[in-house]
A and B are shown apart, each in its own frame.
Chain A
Amino acid sequence: MCATRKSRMQARARKCLPMMFGAVIFLSGPVAAQDITAASIEAMDFVPLSSWKLPEPRHPKTNPYRKERVELGKKLFFDPLLSGNGKMSCATCHNPNAGWSDGLATARGHEGKVLARATPTIVNVAYNTILMWDGRAPNLEKQALGPVTNPDEMANTRRNLLKTLRAQPEYVAAFEKAYPGIGITRSTVERSLAMYQRTIVSRNSPFDRWVAGDEKAVSANVKRGYLLFVNPDKGNCAICHQPPSFTDNGFHNIGLASYGSKNPDQGRYKQRKVPVARGAFKTPQLRNISETAPYFHDGSARTLEDVVRHYAKGGVATSNLSPNMRIGKLTDQEIADLVAFLKSLTGRIGGKNKTTVASQ
């Protein structure tokens, strides 16, 4: 009994040896990039690489995946008929050719009106447990008609939307096929739009391939950048951009210059009257981020390097800085490595994503 346990322990120690060796190399001085591997990271006390493996998105029980409904959702998403004046679709701002955002600092809505906040991408929105910069929508179904009926955005009304759709024989037929016996209702429009958005998924970026075990999927800079991203004494980015979808679904004031203006956007405070929520905005997910410049809720950072430099200097208007924003000193090389890491998060949209939590 005792002998077997001993030999088992020896075997385990032998298995651990290369990992321990890796850790010693890391701790004994600057790491040569070729030494950074999934195994050497596991041996460190950082967020392990395996925790970033992104599962297929799940469709909720109340809105289970159906192919016809996704197709219908896609048709609605790209159709300007949904707006009050027939000129804007969801895709006007969530443009697939601009990373499912609009490339603008802040959005442009009805009749070109410049809005207060940037258009968030809908890439990987399926993984969010709370939506909008201020978290005012609990799920995609409840969010779907928000921009459609907002007078500053698509400027339609629910009644007019349903009336317009019901007047189109094509939609009547498509809804009947997708929702037999129910047809065009507020709920079926919301469910279709939500379900389609849950299929806009990125989970095959070079970084994702590295997570899956391909050590050659990313460059040495990216690997160094990853260590800076998760190291609490360096970038400390993963404290909010948590695995696996690079968000804590939380709200933070990151000390943007705009918070120092006369009447700053209070963000989350509108929803939760707690001091820490003043000027706090939702932590965005980061996959495909290289496609969605400019950055931050106010579009104040032009490039990813600007973003990293903002954090590296500890923010600008810091009167209500998030207690979680604690960043170590970063050299120019380290900033470049972090940017290289962020750029490795961009993948192709698509793949199978038909998982439903429970079938009905």
Chain B
Amino acid sequence: MRCKAIVVIVALFLAVPAMAAEHTVIQKNLKFDQPMLTIKKGDKVFFVNKDGVTHNVFSATPNSEFNLGKFNPGSRKLVELGEVAVVDVECSIHPGMNMTIFILQNWRKKLDKAVSMVTE
């Protein structure tokens, strides 16, 4: 039974076509809703401000710099991150609000590798 379930999940997983995925990071209570986000190169990351406060999401990570400018309550902005990198993201107004985005070339390969390392 359990085995069957795993097979179904794996099958679903493989059925997803290899295309750019979309991720959403929410700003709420002066925090990002996730401290870390792992994405595949080419994926889209949307930032959404669900706070009553204006934020300013930016990154100073070399080769991955971006600045979304004044980020008003209720708005949604897109970041396209081109390079494989570990990108530190911060609100320049509220620096306690920070997160890291891991951009991998092919995260499924890396995941398989990680799983095999664990099982060995």
Interface residues of A (CB under 8 A from B): 129-130, 135, 232, 239-240, 242, 248-252, 268, 272-277, 280, 322-324
Contacts and interface: CB of A to CB of B under 8 A. Distances in A.
Contact of A272 (B53, B54, B92): B92
Of residues B30, B67, B91, B93, which shows the largest number of chain A Cβ atoms within 10 Å of its Cβ?
B93
A274 B56 contact: yes
B77 interface: no
Interface string B78-110: 000000000000111111100000000000000
Interface in B14-66: 30, 52-54, 56, 58, 60
A111 to B, nearest CB: 34
A232 B73 CA distance: 13
Interface of A, secondary structure class, is: loop
B60 A273 contact: yes
A324 B54 contact: yes
B23 to A, nearest CB: 23
A135 B93 CA distance: 11
B52 A239 contact: yes
B52 A232 contact: yes
A139 to B, nearest CB: 12
Contacts of B52: 232, 239
Contacts of A129: 96
A135 B96 CA distance: 11
A272 B88 CA distance: 13
B53 A239 contact: yes
B65 to A, nearest CB: 10
Contacts of B95: 130, 135, 249-251, 272
A324 B93 contact: yes
Contacts of B69: 276
B70 interface: yes
B93 A242 contact: no
Contacts of B93: 250-252, 276, 280, 322, 324
Nearest to A240: B53
A276 B70 contact: yes
Contacts of B54: 322-324
B70 A249 contact: no
Contacts of A277: 92
A242 B94 CA distance: 12
Contacts of B91: 250
A323 B93 CA distance: 10
A248 B92 contact: no
Contacts of B53: 239-240, 248, 324
Q: What are the 8 A-B residue pairs with the smallest beta carbon separation, nearest first?
A: A323-B54, A274-B92, A250-B94, A323-B70, A276-B56, A250-B93, A129-B96, A272-B92
29 contacts: A129-B96, A130-B95, A130-B96, A232-B52, A240-B53, A248-B30, A250-B30, A250-B91, A250-B93, A250-B94, A250-B96, A251-B93, A251-B95, A268-B92, A272-B60, A272-B90, A272-B92, A273-B60, A274-B56, A274-B58, A274-B67, A274-B92, A275-B67, A276-B70, A276-B92, A280-B93, A323-B54, A323-B70, A324-B54
